[in-house]
Structure 1
Amino acid sequence: MVQLKKFIPVLLMAFMLLPALLQAQNQPSREELERRKRELQREMEEAQSLLRETKKTSKESLGQLRALRNKIDVRSRMIRNINEEINFINGDINSALRDVKTLERDLDTLKQQYAQLIVAAYKNRSSYAMLNFVFSADSFNEAIRRYQYLKQYREFRKRQADNIIETQGQLKAKVKNLEDQRMKRSTTLKSEQEERATLEKDRKEKDEVVAKLKGREKELLQDIDQKKKAQKKVQDAIRLAIRKEIEDARKKAEAEALAKKRAAEAERKRREEERKRALAAAAEAAKNNPTAAATPPPAPPPVKEPEPVAAEKPARVLNVLEASPEAAALSDNFEANRGRLPWPVESGMIVGYFGKQKNADMERITEENDGIIFGTRKGGAVKAIFEGSVSRVFSIPGAGFVVMVKHGQYFTNYVGIQSPSVRPGDKVRTGQVIGSARSNEDESMGVVEVQVYKGGALQNANSWIKLR
């Protein structure tokens, strides 16, 4: 029990230091902060650009509200990044202060030691004293050693002087670095205060837009109902297209299987005919040669029936959309990139996520999306998020074009394409432009929705596409 009490202070100290150690491990590096800063600045430029576009309309819209929320979110992340940068600078300042104090102590020690050397040198400044010290030795070897000692003493004194000069230079550099870090911290703090002031303005602007939108809540609900009806038309058309694609693949697989079966049957008949001809020839030869007839001819080898194609089982259960090894491999590659698929637009923001999205500022407003909706500049390029082949391109009244790209048993559907640049049967690679984003009059920006299907089942696109 006594021994356990001895360890209690140690354990308490360990528990007190544990949060600090965990925080140090989770703290991002300076390079990571700089990278985040560049990305956030780019996102802020995009958010401001899209917000300017939404403000061109004569009245406020949900798109303008989303753009403002996106801008507020980006600015909040910028402030957090600045605060982490300030923490780094504070750490550098504390480290520089410790270095300055250490160098000052070292410099004081060196000066004291040098002063003692100078005093000793002054007391023995005459050359006679030095000669007397050397020649008063008891032997020649001792005289040599005394001479070397004096020589080393002079060199040590010179090194001490050099150390003082070097330490003074290091101290001067450290003090300059400390001043630079304090100046950098002052500039960063000023930047953080400016961002907070701008954030407060953005929040006030958002509150004003929310107040005006609440006055038009009934109109917005009607618009959402119309949007749901349009979405149903889009989904019905997409599901019909996918069913046709699966049916076409099934018919193609059945035709290929039937062709293989007929080829196997024809091969069996050919071998049977060859066996019959061989037997007839052997019987005719025996009839014409009685001596040879006494010896029965060897029986022809039995015809080996070809194994049915259906007996071959693949490594895993495949469907008709993975009839070829290439299609199966494409499915596997698509699955391996779950959560890492790129955005279909070069710049912009997400204006709608998959599933039901309740408006954080307006309780009665709830939107439901079948994919992720990306906002970008009007007419902005839309790119394929993964390699594959264009399955279908068709138009839906009021929703623009739909480009359907097949990746084995998976489909990515790009809804809201203004000018498709691909045709059915085209092979596309990741990042290839497949069209331009259709303008939405209410949003005053280019929008495109990306949906993910596995066969005929709609997938949660949030878990497939990489989110910022």
Structure 2
Amino acid sequence: MEAAKKENLKKIQEINKIIETTEQKKEASVGKLNAIGERINKQTKQIDILAEKQQLLDNEAQELQKATGELSGNLEKLKEEYAKMVFTAAKTSNKVNKLSFLFSSSNFNQLIRRYKYLQQYSEARENQAVLIQKVRSELLAEQVKILQKKQEQDALLREKITETQNLQVLKGKQTEVVSQLSQKERKLREQLEANKKVVERLENMIANIVEREIKRSQEREIRINKRNNTASSPSKRNSIRLSAEETKLASSFSALQGRMPWPVNSGFISSRFGVHNHPVLRGVRTNNNGIDIQTSAGNDVKVVYEGIVQSVVSIPGTYMVVAVQHGDYFTIYSKISNVTVSNGQHLKAGQKVGEVASDTDGTSELNFQVWKNFDKQNPENWLRQQ
């Protein structure tokens, strides 16, 4: 639980940096709204973690109270037994002289038994006294634990109140940004139309790359078949004909599903795969062929797996785009700047391809896509959980 709390706090700090960057631009933006929304999600998670911890402390406190009650009962019982033993010993001492008790034995064996009885009775009283002291010490230790647990509960309650107040402040900011964006509906619609054109250009570019590689693979197979004097197998128009090396690469890339490293070191998913509602414009739906990862400007963008660079182009509205082939899989990195790779270059997993760019609103986002031939994949199903 403590590990989850620390990890969530780390995420909150990362998002706070992103929010600070977007707030440098005085105007409201969808990027700022997304960052605040993610911050609210993490803040809510933090409160949930604190509530879970509070419940755990309550359970522990109840167990301690129960243990304390049992120890108190045991202590009282031991005290009563000890008092009876002392009283019995005192009565015996007054009525019967110990020596007389011993020497009035009818035989030697009886004398030995009486002596052992007196000895054991004395030891029992001593052991009872030691046991009482031990239980008293345990009881005191449990009472100290209860006091410490109470202090932890009080501190946790204060922390939870503070985090709840922070959440309310964030929700107020969110409402304010939504209100400001609602007043800029015309500008938002213009941005939306421009973004649709960018998405179409990017989709066509990727489709052309896939089509080109399919054609190349078919021509390569024809050459090999002619050289070997073998008949060509039926052509697959919508998939790349892989060589043995490419098949191995594609297979190892496929094994990454669910554990693929993120292309950036920090950030959050600000726009998910597929069709979803616009965050401000009612009744407006947007489509994303990949995911957008909002992060800090200038963060390194790294290729998620080894492969070959198939395209480095500039598309207006999305800065630079890098497409990398991994057998019959492709990963696409767009909205980047300061590109460090070139066409045909062989890349190692984790190699830098560029840096995350910032738009005029101060939002820094990487658009990341995964394709298999012409099929668009949901990158969230590939990336490891953060």
- TM-score, normalisation: structure 2: 0.91
Q: 1:319 to 1:238 in 2, by over 3 A?
A: closer
Residues 24-55 of structure 1, C-alpha deviation per residue, up to 9 Å, x if partnerless? xxxxxxxxx22221121111111111111111
Task: Write the letter of the residue equivalent to 1:391.
Answer: V
1:145 and 1:255 map into 2 onto residues whose CA distance is 110
Deviation at 1:172, TM superposition (A): 0.8
Residues 1:173 and 2:93 aligned together: no
Contact 2:202 2:315 in 1 (8 A): no
Residues 1:250 and 2:218 aligned together: yes
Residues 375-411 of structure 1, C-alpha deviation per residue, up to 9 Å, x if partnerless? 11111011222x2212324122322332222222211
Task: Write the letter of the residue equivalent to 2:179.
Answer: A
Deviation at 1:155, TM superposition (A): 1.9
Residues 1:428 and 2:348 aligned together: yes
Task: Write the letter of the residue equivalent to 2:253.
Answer: F
Structure 1 unmatched runs, 5+? 1-32, 262-307, 312-317
Deviation at 1:364, TM superposition (A): 4.3
Show the 5 A alignment for 1:254-333: 254-261=222-229, 320-324=240-244, 326-333=245-252
- TM-score, normalisation: structure 1: 0.76
1:187 and 1:107 map into 2 onto residues whose CA distance is 32
2:225 and 2:364 map into 1 onto residues whose CA distance is 46
Task: Write the letter of the residue equivalent to 2:271.
Answer: G
Q: Which has the higher contact order (CA 8 A, sep 6+)?
A: 2
Query: Which residue pairs with 1:451 in the alignment?
Result: 369
Structure 2 unmatched runs, 5+? none
Contact 2:213 2:240 in 1 (8 A): no
Contact 1:72 1:199 in 2 (8 A): yes
Residues 293-349 of structure 1, C-alpha deviation per residue, up to 9 Å, x if partnerless? xxxxxxxxxxxxxxx5879xxxxxx9644321x432333333333233232111111
Residues 105-147 of structure 1, C-alpha deviation per residue, up to 9 Å, x if partnerless? 0000111111112212223347972222222222222222222
Find 1:122's aligned residue among 48, 73, 90: 90
Contact 2:28 2:180 in 1 (8 A): yes
1:110 and 1:201 map into 2 onto residues whose CA distance is 58
Contact 1:390 1:428 in 2 (8 A): no
% identical equivalent positions = 26
Three-state SS of the structure 2 residue aligned to 1:337 is coil
Question: More helix by proportion, 1 or 2?
Answer: 1
Find 2:332's aligned residue among 413, 435, 440: 413
Task: Write the letter of the residue equivalent to 2:136.
Answer: Q
Three-state SS of the structure 2 residue aligned to 1:170 is helix
1:254 and 1:149 map into 2 onto residues whose CA distance is 107
Deviation at 1:248, TM superposition (A): 2.1
Residues 1:90 and 2:58 aligned together: yes
Contact 1:321 1:327 in 2 (8 A): no
Q: 1:320 to 1:61 in 2, by over 3 A?
A: closer
Three-state SS of the structure 1 residue aligned to 2:276 is strand
1:403 and 1:109 map into 2 onto residues whose CA distance is 80
2:4 and 2:338 map into 1 onto residues whose CA distance is 35
Query: Which residue pairs with 1:60 in the alignment?
Result: 28
Which moves more between the two structures, 354-363 or 340-349?
354-363
Deviation at 1:435, TM superposition (A): 2.3
Deviation at 1:360, TM superposition (A): 4.5
Find 2:275's aligned residue among 356, 364, 375: 356
Task: Write the letter of the residue equivalent to 2:364.
Answer: G
1:126 and 1:259 map into 2 onto residues whose CA distance is 121
